[in-house]
């Protein structure tokens, strides 16, 4: 029988109230307190802090505090990535951010999802769908990336957009829902 954590990581229905999962949430909260207090530290020291909790972090990554995530260990960030102030990553499953991607302030990257069936949802079960962001992507401030989307290399996501479906490499999308624009 699989643990709730194993179910979560596989993207299956799981109970977020499971003690093992709650221990990880608590550990991440403690780490976030430290990281978010580190705004005045040199970038190299903040990079060391990121590498303590995130799954993988390339060279020259900058994440400006405050930053928020669920677990951290499900986040992989390529080299030269920049996340501006107040980004939120709900990482119940994998979030991959490719090299040289730039993410504006207040962007939310949300892998967490909930059952559409009311009875299942009321039971407290949830699941996640991974998000992949390619290389050299630019995501404007306040954009929302919904569970399961994939953003191709060199794409541009306009500020305030709600990305509900995959974005092709090199595409420019904006709006709610985000749509391809010339």
CA distance 47 to 118: 42
Q: Which one of the listed residues 29, 68, 114, 132 is annotated catalytic?
A: 114
Strands of the sheet with 125-128, listed across from one edge: 14-15, 125-128, 112-113
Q: Who's near 45: CB < 8 A, 6+ residues apart?
A: 38
Q: Which two tokens stand for residue 31?
A: 């780490």
68 catalytic per annotation:
no
Cβ atoms of 3 and 22 closer than 8 Å: no
Q: How far, in Å, are 8, 39, 57, 78, 169 from residue 81 at the CA level?
A: 27, 17, 9, 6, 18
Active site residues: 114
């Amino acid at each position: 029988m699989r643990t709730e954590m194993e179910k979560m990581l596989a993207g299956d229905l799981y109970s977020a109230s499971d003690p093992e999962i709650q221990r990880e949430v608590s550990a991440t909260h403690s780490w976030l307190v430290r990281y978010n207090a580190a705004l005045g530290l040199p970038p190299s020291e903040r990079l060391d802090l990121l590498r303590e909790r995130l799954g993988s972090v390339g060279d020259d990554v900058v994440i400006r505090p405050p930053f928020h995530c669920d677990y951290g260990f499900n986040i992989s960030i390529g080299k030269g990535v920049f996340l501006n102030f107040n980004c939120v990553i709900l990482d119940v499953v994998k979030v991959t951010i490719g090299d040289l991607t730039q993410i504006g302030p207040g962007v939310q990257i949300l892998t967490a999802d909930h059952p559409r069936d009311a009875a299942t949802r009321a039971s407290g079960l949830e699941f996640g769908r991974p998000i992949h962001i390619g290389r050299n992507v630019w995501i404007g401030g306040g954009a929302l990336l919904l569970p399961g989307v994939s953003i191709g290399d060199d794409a541009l996501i306009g500020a305030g957009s709600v990305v509900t479906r995959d974005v092709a490499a090199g595409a420019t999308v904006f709006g709610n829902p985000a749509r391809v624009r010339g």
